Each structure stands twice: as C-alpha cells, then as structure tokens.
Amino acid sequence: MKRLIIIGVLLGVLLSSSAWGWGIMGMGGVVVASDYTLEVSASSTCIQKDTNATWDTIHDDTSGSAGTNTGVERTAGGNYTIYRTHVRFDCTDLPASFTITGAYIELYPTVKEDSNSKTIIACDSSYDGTCSGNEMGACTIDSPTQYGSSAIAGITINQYNNIALSSFTNILDSATVQYCIRGQVDVEDSATGLDNGEKDYVTLDTTTNVPKLHITYTIP
C-alpha cells in the first residue's frame, strides 16, 4: 500500500511543455513554476558611419552614410570614422504580464579590429525601422543608456556572439525594442589614445546572419 501511495504522488508531479518553455505541473494540473524563452530576429537593421578630421564634430553629427562596421577608427591621415549599428526587434509575442530573468543580443561579426582593448556597447536607440541617412543621431549621443557590452578581444568571428544585457527596461516598456550598438570610444566621447591608423570595431553580417534578441522570462 505504501508503494502505491508513493507512486501516486510521483505521478502527480508532471513536466508540462509548450512552444515557449517548460513548467512543473503539480497535482490538480496547476503549473507552479515556468521558464520561457523568446528568440526574435531583427525586423530591421541600419549601419551608419561618418568621417571627419575633428572628433567633436563627428561625434555630435546626426547625419551619415551607409556603413558595415560598429565602433571607431582613425585613418593614417588622422581622420576619424564613427560607426553606429541600429537593430530593431518585434517582441509582440511576449505575454501581457511577465518577469525577465535574462536577455542577450546575438551578433554575427566577420571581422574584428582591436587596437586598444575596447568594447562594443548596446545603448538606447530611437531607430524607427527606416534607414534614411540620419541615424547617426537616432540615439542619445552623449551619456547614453547602456544595456550591455562585449569586449572586442573576446569576440570570435564568423559565428554568433552574445552581448549579455544587464538592464531590461526598454523591453518592459515597449513591444518594439531598439538598440544602438556603438564603440566604447564613441560612448565615452573620448578619442584620447586612438592614434593614426588604429581601429576598434567589428564588421557585422546583418543580412545572412541577422542580429537576434533572446529573452528568458517567467509568467505569473
């Protein structure tokens, strides 16, 4: 009889699955704990660059042209180039009520240049999904909100790399989430130490291997 009771209790604790994750189902069919994941590919990306001989001018400029890199460089002749990458994600599949337990952005770099042991940083963005040439200013240029970073030295090219996010406020605030990926020198607004011919950037594949946002969350 004791064995039958134990078996009955064990059978009452079941694993329940869904397209979003796994939960532990207690007796009576009530889910008592759940972890879910949502992975979305970027609905739109925009990489912009601008070049100027004066750092303060280029840093504060809001217009640019199409680029392929993310970060900064200085030519042998002394001109600076800043690259900023905007990514936009549609997160409407998230439920109305949820708690985020972790999130990261996945980027696919094909080239990395790291002259000064710098990072790339995921910052705030107001990118509306249209790449019109004014996206150098589609972010808080000075003292931006920073959500996460990744050291260029630790990046492996030709595969997805993660930028772990330490803040989720923008995900919680809106179903459409934007980030501006910038170089550390750009975010800190200090080109001191960036000498002629030096580069601190990554080249991103945003077409074949598009950026992704991965969110882990629980629901009540």
At 96-139, the pLDDT tens digits run: 999 999 999 999 999 999 999 999 999 999 999 999 989 999 99
What are residue 32's phi and psi, to 5 degrees? -105, -15
**Distance (Å, whole) CA 145 – CA 170:** 10
β-pairing, 176-183 with 99-107?
unpaired
**CA 195, CA 73: separation in Å to the nearest integer?**
9
Residue with tokens 């980030």: 179
In percent, how much of the chain has pLDDT > 90? 81
Domains belonging to the chain, first-starting first, are 2-35 (no CATH), 38-218 (2.60.120)
pTM for the whole thing? 0.84
DSSP-derived pairing of the beta strands 199-204 and 161-164:
unpaired
pLDDT over 90 at 187, yes or no: yes
- Position 34 confidence tier, pLDDT thresholds 50, 70, 90: low
Distance between CA atoms of residues 138 and 181, nearest Å: 11
Cβ contacts of residue 207 below 8 Å, gap of 6+?
Answer: none
Can you read off the two tokens belonging to residue 179?
A: 């980030």
For residue 220, the model assigns a pLDDT of: 85
The first and second tokens of residue 144, run together, are: 């931006």
Of 3-17, 66-80, 131-145, 182-196, the least confident: 3-17
Determine the Cα–Cα distance for residues 192 and 56; give it in Å rounded to an integer. 12
- The helix, strand and coil proportions of the chain, stated in percent and rounded to the nearest 5, come to 15, 45, 40
Mean pLDDT to the nearest integer, 19-28: 44
C-alpha distances out from residue 216 to 52, 98, 156, Å:
41, 10, 24
> Bigger pLDDT: 17 or 68?
68
